């Protein structure tokens, strides 16, 4: 593969080498030192796997272009990969085939887990999505056979385009492609030979760059490297449930763990048509998926959605008058209480639905109950992360409900100066960290302080007036 890439104009390959590393497996090794920001690799446009190149292929292109409606980007790239792999002995594809020969023959994405392995994360969003995806892949393959593969057996012999082959090709696209937004607002997805061997590290800055003028893909040094180091790229702030589904690995203690909360309202619900007009004003839709994270386990958007969903006819008139920031604050005490009570009950129900509860998972992982690196071990870390996020979300909702029902403040989420609990998550502690500026609220840790500041405290955080007594 390297010789072919060099002959096509790739640069930097003399200073890099494919190698096996403990913990991450196959990756890219540096053969010299680099400073952060140096260009370490450039892959020319002509050798990239892209939709445009698939369409331009003299044999495959006419078939793909004739399919209406067009195939998805993922399916086009998957078919392109399998088509090239099937053209044994065809010199036109020798270079691309050398890349395919370097690809893994199997993947560890969650779609390949057996039932016992997947059951470890039962109750998680990954469990549900993986079950749905496994059936969807079967349905999509059958549709692909009808629309593309079956009508052209001379190009797509079904013994080389099986369901297993299709899933392998999709996993190749999911785990090795890069996405870029172009200046005119369009986007491009590509797979770059050799560059796709770089592993992920959150310790490096984003360092893969696409030049829309030349069409070349470049990799920069995301940090300083010494000769012999493994070079990395940064996939971005991705939670474990997505890492395992798309890339086949997890990061223990991932700070980006999240839970996707789906909020929906039936069209026959009371006042639905009026509420349907209000959600867009709040930056939402009648069905909204909102990410709960470790740093923001209960986003304002969740409260905005449910405040509108739970509107009574009496509250509706006042809300309609709002032109901006609809439902950004408490509408009425009864509405707020209903919303927060619903959230507490919902989060409790979701947490109770996990097959293995948080405390037991933590104990199992501490005792190496699951072999490190195994599918079950990875599934356990996904479940662990999601339950931690949901636990924080429930604590936050419980705290806000206490504030509303106690009448300490007219606005849910406003910190109570006299509270001995964390102003964000509500967790009681004897060692709270007081806000260094206003001195009026305290937190159980840095994460809650940052989250609370972003979610409203910033607007009210002011240094105490001279001579004013501070709350201790």
Hey, what are 365's tokens? 């992982």
Would you say residue 140 has pLDDT above 90? yes
Local confidence band at 459 (pLDDT 50, 70, 90 cut-offs): low
Q: pLDDT tens across 291-322, in order?
A: 999 999 999 999 999 999 999 988 888 787 76
Question: Is 352 a residue whose pLDDT tops 50?
Answer: yes
pLDDT digits 0-9 by tens, 83-105: 999 999 999 999 999 999 999 99
Q: What is the pLDDT of residue 179?
A: 96
Closest CA to 403 of 412, 395, 394: 412
pLDDT at 458 over 90: no
What is the model's pLDDT at position 468?
A: 44
In tens, the pLDDT along 252-306 reads: 999 999 999 999 999 999 999 999 999 998 999 999 999 999 999 999 999 999 9
């Amino acid at each position: 593969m390297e010789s072919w890439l060099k002959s096509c104009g790739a640069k930097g390959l003399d200073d890099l080498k494919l190698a096996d590393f403990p913990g991450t497996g196959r990756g890219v090794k540096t053969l010299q030192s680099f400073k952060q920001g140096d260009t370490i690799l450039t892959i020319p446009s002509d050798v990239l796997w892209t939709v445009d190149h698939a369409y331009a292929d003299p044999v495959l292109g006419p078939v793909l272009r004739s399919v209406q409606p067009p195939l998805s980007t993922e399916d086009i790239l998957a078919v392109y990969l399998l088509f090239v792999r099937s053209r044994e002995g065809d010199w036109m594809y020798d270079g691309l085939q050398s890349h395919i020969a370097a690809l893994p023959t199997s993947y560890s994405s969650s779609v390949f887990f057996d039932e016992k392995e997947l059951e470890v994360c039962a109750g998680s969003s990954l469990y549900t999505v993986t079950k749905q995806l496994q059936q969807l892949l079967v349905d999509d393959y059958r549709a692909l056979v009808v629309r593309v593969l079956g009508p052209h057996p001379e190009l797509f012999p079904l013994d080389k385009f099986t369901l297993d082959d299709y899933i392998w090709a999709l996993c190749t696209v999911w785990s090795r492609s890069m996405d870029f937004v172009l200046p005119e607002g369009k986007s491009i997805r590509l797979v770059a030979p050799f560059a796709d061997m770089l592993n992920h590290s959150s310790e490096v800055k984003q360092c893969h760059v696409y030049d829309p003028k030349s069409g070349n893909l470049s990799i920069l040094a995301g940090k300083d490297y010494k000769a012999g180091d493994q070079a990395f790229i940064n996939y971005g702030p991705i939670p474990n449930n997505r890492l395992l589904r798309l890339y086949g690995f997890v990061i223990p203690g991932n700070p980006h763990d999240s839970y996707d909360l789906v909020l929906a309202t039936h069209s026959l619900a009371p006042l639905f048509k009026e509420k349907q007009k209000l959600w867009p004003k709040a930056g939402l839709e009648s069905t909204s998926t909102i990410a709960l994270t470790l740093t923001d386990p209960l986003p304002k958007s969740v409260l905005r959605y449910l405040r509108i969903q739970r509107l009574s006819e009496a509250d509706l008139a006042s809300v309609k008058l709002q032109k901006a920031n609809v439902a950004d604050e408490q509408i009425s005490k009864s509405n707020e209480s209903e919303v927060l009570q619903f959230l507490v009950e919902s989060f409790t129900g979701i947490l109770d639905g996990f097959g293995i509860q948080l405390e037991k998972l933590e104990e199992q992982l501490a005792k190496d109950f699951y072999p490190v690196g195994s599918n079950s071990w990875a599934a356990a870390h996904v479940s662990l992360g999601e339950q931690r996020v949901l636990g924080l979300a429930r604590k936050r909702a419980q705290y806000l409900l206490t504030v509303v029902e106690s009448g300490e403040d007219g606005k849910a989420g406003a910190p109570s100066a006299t509270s001995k609990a964390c102003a964000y998550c509500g967790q009681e502690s004897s060692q709270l960290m007081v806000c260094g500026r206003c001195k009026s609220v305290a937190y159980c840790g840095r994460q809650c302080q940052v989250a609370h500041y972003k979610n409203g405290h910033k607007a009210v955080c002011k240094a105490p007036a001279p001579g004013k007594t501070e709350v201790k």
